[in-house]
């Protein structure tokens, strides 16, 4: 008999709330549309044991009227994965259950070897039973925060005959460890940050799909972002489509912030430098460089993201006509001011626009405070600007009572993009960081999005843009000696 690791959750409660066949089938079908199309479902779940059914129907058969081999492998993947998940008592699975990275597990298929023994001519029953020794090792390692690499066997029967047998190797670990940027970054972490950047590029790329119904007849919200489709790729456009489905206003909100940043850049007198903090796949510098040939762009991000950025830019501009400087940073441990100070190309006395876009909501307050305070040291020209966007604390805590926002945040949790910081009074927060003054505008006010008898759409009210000005360093003793150097 397999013995569960002692915890506060009984098998009965775990079965009812997390792992019963009806619930897991519904959640997996939602996450994996191919399972829905094939009518695949779980018929039995026990601790360390799962039984599934892949019906023989039009969606699952090949030209011979027997099961498609690839769908048998798909069934094997989720049959074995669910069996492993059944051992992690009380632990929601990232991408399946509604959960936060801090309390979830991430499970990936690492390898698969399936032998197809005979054609499948009836409904196919898959079974995975984890032996006691393997189960105990999985529970032991996970409970101590250690990585799991387990090989499980899944068998398939049809009409009383063995049809296929597979050995599947699964990788599992607490999601919080996989997303920890302070240690050796995992493949999942690298995938996550790239997916996030592609997703936002996908929203920009899909701007023409979303008309602003509240604008004047014949007008539409749009931005000039010709590189967004290439930057997003099919992956980014797919993720963006999922988010737009949960929050139709998302496109307008992203367009609004893009327009507001562009306006800030255009209205900054004599701007010579653009600093993208968390550059991702933001290609706006290429657009602005057309009108500002002397513009120098500083791109700050993790090395994995900068590598992806370089790959995309080679598709957009193989000759890299834009003057760029890539700076590797980790917001959780690096001092951005020191990174810029050590960059010979950067001059803090020149008019500079710093763009901290789409980042504040993903970091703790202490991290955001340190970032702002650090950047203020580099804003030594009174014409320099710091642009930051904030979501409200109510939205982060799910207290808005707006169903669309709730659905959107659930979807973001599913993607591992949970919001963790919100600010209801951005000007007060920035003032506490030493910012002398800032301008705050709501995304709804910027869009002038009026609806429902003149009321502003409440979704837009949870998202604000801020612009802070630099300070004159002529009377400051800590000013760098690097002034008026030729550009």
Give yes or no: residues 259 and 356 share one domain. yes
Distances (CA, A) of 131 to 1, 362, 384: 9, 40, 64
> Is the pLDDT assigned to residue 486 strictly greater than 50?
no
Model pLDDT, residue 428: 94
Residue 416: closest CA among 16, 92, 111, 78: 92
Taking only the tens place, the pLDDT of each residue in 94-149 is 889 888 777 889 899 999 999 999 999 999 999 999 999 999 999 999 998 888 99
Token pair of 137, please?
Answer: 């090792």
Longest distance between any two alpha carbons in the chain, whole Å? 87
Q: Are residues 356 and 236 in the same domain?
A: yes
Q: Within this chain, do residues 112 and 235 fall inside the same structural domain, yes or no?
A: no
Task: Write down the pTM of the prediction.
Answer: 0.71
Compute CA distances 34 → 28, 37, 51, 268, whole Å. 10, 5, 18, 50
pLDDT at residue 24 in the model: 97
> How many residues are given for the chain?
487
What's the structural domain count of the chain?
2
What mean pLDDT, rounded, does the chain reach? 84
Nearest to 302 by CA among 191, 435, 394, 217: 191
CATH number reported for the structural domain that contains residue 200 in this entry: 3.40.50.150
Task: Give the per-residue pLDDT at 42.
Answer: 98
Pair (216, 341) in one structural domain: yes
Is 243 in the same domain as 168?
no
As a whole number of angstroms, the distance between CA 180 and CA 199 comes to: 21
What are the pLDDT digits (tens) for 56-106? Answer: 999 999 999 999 999 999 999 999 999 999 999 999 998 898 887 778 898
The CATH number assigned to the domain holding 97 equals 3.10.129.10
Does a structural domain hold residue 475?
no
CA distances in angstroms from 150 to 47, 134, 138, 266, listed in the order given: 16, 8, 7, 55
Could you give the CA distance from residue 327 to residue 298 in angstroms, rounded to a whole number? 7
pLDDT band at 478 (very low <50, low <70, confident <90, very high): very low
Residue 479 domain-assigned (yes or no) = no
Position with higher pLDDT, 475 vs 38: 38
Same domain for 38 and 160:
yes
Cβ neighbours for 250, distance < 8 A, ≥ 6 positions apart: 203, 243, 244, 408
Sign (positive or negative) of CA dihedral 65, 68, 71, 77: positive
Give yes or no: residues 88 and 207 share one domain: no
At residue 47 the predicted structure's pLDDT band, cuts being 50, 70 and 90, is very high
Residue range of the domain that includes 115: 11-178
Task: Say if residue 160 is in the same domain as residue 234.
Answer: no
* Banded pLDDT at 319 (limits 50, 70, 90): low
Structure-token pair, residue 298: 């500083």
């Amino acid at each position: 008999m397999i013995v569960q690791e002692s915890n506060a959750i009984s098998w009965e409660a775990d079965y009812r709330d997390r792992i019963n066949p009806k619930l897991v089938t519904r959640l997996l079908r939602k996450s994996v549309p191919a399972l829905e199309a094939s009518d695949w479902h779980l018929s039995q779940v026990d601790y360390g044991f799962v039984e599934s059914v892949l019906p023989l129907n039009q969606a699952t058969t090949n030209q011979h009227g027997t099961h498609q081999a690839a769908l048998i492998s798909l069934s094997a993947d989720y049959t074995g994965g669910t069996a492993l998940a059944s051992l992690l008592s009380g632990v929601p699975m990232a991408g399946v259950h509604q959960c936060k990275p801090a309390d979830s597990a991430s499970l990936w298929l690492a390898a698969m070897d399936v032998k197809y023994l005979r054609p499948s001519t009836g409904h196919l029953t898959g079974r995975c039973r984890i032996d006691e020794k393997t189960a105990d090792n999985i529970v032991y390692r996970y409970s101590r925060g250690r990585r799991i690499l387990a090989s499980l066997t899944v068998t398939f029967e049809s009409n009383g005959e063995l049809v296929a047998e597979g050995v599947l190797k699964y990788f599992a670990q607490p999601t919080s460890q996989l997303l920890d940027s302070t240690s050796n970054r995992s493949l999942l972490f690298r995938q996550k940050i790239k997916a996030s950047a592609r997703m936002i590029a996908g929203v920009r790329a899909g701007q023409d799909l979303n008309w602003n119904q509240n604008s004047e007849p014949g007008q539409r919200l749009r931005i000039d972002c010709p590189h967004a489709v290439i930057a997003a790729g099919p992956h980014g456009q797919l993720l963006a489509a999922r988010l737009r489905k949960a929050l139709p206003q998302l496109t307008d909100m992203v367009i609004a912030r893009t327009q507001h940043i562009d306006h800030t850049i255009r209205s900054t007198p004599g701007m010579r430098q653009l600093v993208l903090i968390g550059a991702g796949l933001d290609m706006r510098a290429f657009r602005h460089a057309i009108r500002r040939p002397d513009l120098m762009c500083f791109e700050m991000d993790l090395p994995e993201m900068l590598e992806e950025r370089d790959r995309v830019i080679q598709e957009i501009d193989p000759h890299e006509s834009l003057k760029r400087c890539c700076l590797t940073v980790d917001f959780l441990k690096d001092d951005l001011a020191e990174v810029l100070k050590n960059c010979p190309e950067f001059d803090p006395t020149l008019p500079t626009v710093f763009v901290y876009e789409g980042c504040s909501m993903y970091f703790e307050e202490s991290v955001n405070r340190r970032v702002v305070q650090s950047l203020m040291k580099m804003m030594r020209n009174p014409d320099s600007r710091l642009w930051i966007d904030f979501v409200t604390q109510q939205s982060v805590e799910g207290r808005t009572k707006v169903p669309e926002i709730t659905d959107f945040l659930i979807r973001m949790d599913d993607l591992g993009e949970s919001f963790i910081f919100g600010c209801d009074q951005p000007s007060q927060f920035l003032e506490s960081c030493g910012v002398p003054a800032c301008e705050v505008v709501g995304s709804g006010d910027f869009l002038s999005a009026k609806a429902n008898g003149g009321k502003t759409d409440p979704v837009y009210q949870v998202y604000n843009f801020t612009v802070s000005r630099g300070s004159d360093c002529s009377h400051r003793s800590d000013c760098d000696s690097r002034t008026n150097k030729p550009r």
